[in-house]
Structure 1
Amino acid sequence: MKIVTKSEILTVLRQFDPLLDVESGFVDYSKGLACIPPVSELVLEKGEVHIKCGYLKAGVHYVIKVASGFYGNSVLGLPSSNGLMMLFSTETGEAKCLLQDEGILTDHRTAIAGAIVAKYFAPAVVSAIGVVGTGIQARLQVKRVSQVTGCKKIIVWGRSTEAAERFRRSMQVEGYNVELIEHLESLAGKSNLIITTTPSSRPLLSQNMIQAGTLIIAIGSDTPEKQELDTDILVNATRIIVDSKKQSLTRGEVSRALRASAIGEHQVFELGAEIAKGRRPTMATETTVVDLTGLAVQDLKIAEFVLNRIN
């Protein structure tokens, strides 16, 4: 079994871009070419652990991924995310590769998903990218989405003033124009592309904050308990897209709206199928909500990408 270290993984990610591989994974999933069982999870006192696995029917590997989020780690000087991925042969079950990524592959494949969404559904001109949250996913989403949209104007809100200031300083060093705001109404009013990246269990954004012509990429709500968007935002959305229609029945923003009978399943479309239709930007009179809860096919694609580059 090959063992790939975190430093080796980072070297690959600096030199090569897995976006097209991950994008093809979404398309394959929506075509029914992937076998992805339900997510297993452990909810602990101080954090949560997600276990995802799956394979492509014509593929040579299946993946098992363990990813954790311990959101109080910052006070300990530790990253909030951790984990690893393993690839096994679909022919023999042999363990082929252990990727000791410490959560960075999950972080990057999630950020890549945001970039893919922006690639296909962002407004033709993005005036500013609004980011709800200041952690590692907020930073990676900004970098990835700005590459796709060309927008370097960032409006950021965070619960912690100190964390928001650290975010501002680090992103400005990299060439971004970052504005910190205290109220989410201001963020929504100044941004026509909004990314939510927090583990909040109560809505942070409400319908009256959202201006027409906005794309919302909801990242943080990946369990049944989390919620960043008020259900009225989905009720009033022109388009609602999820990475997995099946998974959206039990987790994410859409699951809450469905359970409340605020929207119907017929109003929800799957990302891979929408990608296959080509770019359709959010128009000035529209609102697009894309709810991403994370799929094992993303893990499979990025793990194989790294292994192939190292080999």
Structure 2
Amino acid sequence: MIVVDRERLARLPLLTLAAPAIREAYIAVTDGRANLPPVGYLPLSGRNADCHIKYGYIEGDPIFVVKIAAGFYDNPAKGLPSSSGMMVAVSAETGDVIAVLDDRGLLTDLRTGIGGAIATMALWRGGARRIGIVGTGTQARVQIRALAALSDRPLHFTVWGRSPERAQAVLTDLADLDLSIAATTDLETLCRQSDAIVTTTPSKEPLIRSQWIAPGTHITAMGADAPGKQELDIALVARADRLVVDLADQCLDHGELSAAAGAGLIARDCCIALGAVLSGASEGRLSDGDITIADLTGIATQDIAIARTVLDELGLLGRSQGTTP
């Protein structure tokens, strides 16, 4: 068994390298190839923390993956990252553990960022340039890096944070990129002026009001990945013209759509699978005036995709066939 540490993983250009596999991972959910058992969820409410266990298999793959991802949301105040975890890649032929990817949350952060960028680019309107980023944590940074790496157009980013210092820190951390980027503490103005908005906070109460969102705006909601989390006003969710999900069962149970569904404002048949949009089986945005929302709760096929990309890039996939890499 091989253990690959975070430092080695961080040297791989995964934002671009893994994007095609993650795009295909969404499609696998809709065409019957994905086996996705229910997510394991462990809340540590007294510590403002939680842990997810996600696992799954894509038919025909040489591996399946078990992922542990922990979020400790008070860590940034201690000078520590908020996310940690690991992925275990197991041979789908023999059951042998091929590798432990000791990424300490890096691969989850990257696959989430890539997935968010893929959804945003699939649903924003033609000519969208102004991107609002809600939040100042790790995922805010990764969403910007992913969009900058994968977009086919120049973008202007505005980052919102409750404190100017935290918003400015995001800009400082992204100084290695050639970006048009600004910081703000005015969330309403950010929402009114953005063509697309990406929300990345662990908020437990709505931050974004329906009246702030103009026709034609796209929102990719990333933060609500556990019961009780919510970033969008339920009136906004109910008002949206198109609701796109990575996995309907998860999104209606504990994603951004769950509060609106619980209030009886939306039904399951309102949900359009992102994989179906990407494959062309369903339409995403129907017009430039549509308000579109993508609710992404994170699915194991993303973890499989990025783990497979890593193993392939490092020459380790041959181990699943019983050969020496």
TM-score by length of 2: 0.91
Matches of 1:226 and 1:240 in 2, distance apart?
A: 18
Decide whether the 8 Å contact of 1:89 with 1:95 is kept in 2. Answer: yes
- Letter in structure 2 aligned against 1:183: D
| Alpha carbons of structure 1 residues 107 and 80: separation in structure 2 relative to 1, 3 Å | same
Query: Residues 4-83 of structure 1: matches in 2 within 5 Å?
Result: 4-13=4-13, 17-44=17-44, 45-46=46-47, 47-83=49-85
Q: CA-to-partner distance for each residue in 1:186-237, whole Å, 9 max, x for gaps? A: 0111101000000000000011000111110000000121000011111111
After superposition, the C-alpha distances for 1:226-282 in whole angstroms (9 at most, x for unaligned) are: 000011111111100000012223111112211111011111111111111188557
- Give 5+ residue unaligned stretches, structure 1: none
What is the CA-CA distance between 1:172 and the residue it aligns to?
Answer: 4.6
Tell me which residue corresponds to 1:142: 144
Give CA-to-partner distance per residue, 1:84-115, whole Å, 9 cap, x none: 00011222221111001110000000000011
| 1:238 to 1:16, Cα distance in 2 relative to 1, 3 A | closer
Contact 2:14 2:110 in 1 (8 A): no
Select the residue among 303, 306, 309 that pairs with 2:310.
Answer: 306
* Mapped contact 1:12–1:310 kept (Cα < 8 A): no
| Cα shift readout 1:128-178 (whole Å, capped 9, x = no counterpart) | 100100111101111212341523311121123221121123335522222
How big is the shift at 1:180? 2.2
Q: Percent identity of the aligned residues?
A: 36
Give the counterpart letter for 1:40 in structure 2.
G
CA contact (8 A) 2:242 2:284 kept: no
| Matching of residues 245-284 of structure 1 within 5 Å | 245-277=248-280, 283-284=287-288
Contact kept, 8 Å, 1:41 with 1:50, in 2: the verdict is: yes
Supply the distance in 2 between the matched residues of 1:73 and 1:15 (Cα, whole angstroms): 25
Equivalences for residues 110-149 of structure 1 within 5 A: 110-146=112-148, 147-149=150-152
Residue matched to 2:3: 3
Q: CA RMSD in A?
A: 1.7
Task: Please say which of residues 282-291 and 182-191 is displaced more in the overlay.
Answer: 282-291
1:295 corresponds to 2:299: yes
Instruction: Count residues with an aligned counterpart.
Output: 311
Contact 1:215 1:282 in 2 (8 A): no
For 1:268 and 1:29, how far apart are their aligned partners in 2? 14
Superposition pairs of residues 92-111 of structure 1, within 5 angstroms = 92-111=94-113
1:182-201 aligned at under 5 Å gives the runs 182-201=185-204
Contact 1:133-1:198 within 8 A present in 2 as well: yes
Partner Cα separation in structure 2 for residue 250 and residue 69 of structure 1: 19
For the residues of structure 2 that align with 1:271 and 1:218, how far apart are their CA atoms? Answer: 13
Structure 2 counterpart of 1:179: 182
Distance in 2 between residues matched to 1:141 and 1:15, nearest whole Å: 10
Render the CA deviation track for 1:18-65: whole Å, top value 9, x for unaligned.
000011111011112111111112111221111111111222211110
2:308 corresponds to which letter in structure 1? Answer: E
CA distance in 2 between partners of 1:15 and 1:37 (Å):
26
CA distance in 2, matches of 1:14, 1:145: 13
Cα distance in 1, alignment partners of residues 219 and 85 from structure 2: 28
Structure 2 match to 1:222: 225
Matches within 5 A, 1:79-90: 79-90=81-92
Report the AA paired with residue 55 of structure 2: C
Runs of 4+ in 1 over 4 A off after TM superposition: 278-282
Match of 1:159 in 2: 162
SS in 1 for 2:204: coil
Structure 2's unaligned 5+ residue stretches are: 316-325
State the distance in 2 between where 1:186 and 1:76 align. Answer: 31
Counterpart of 1:35, as a letter, is N
Q: Distance in 2 between matches of 1:36 and 1:69?
A: 21
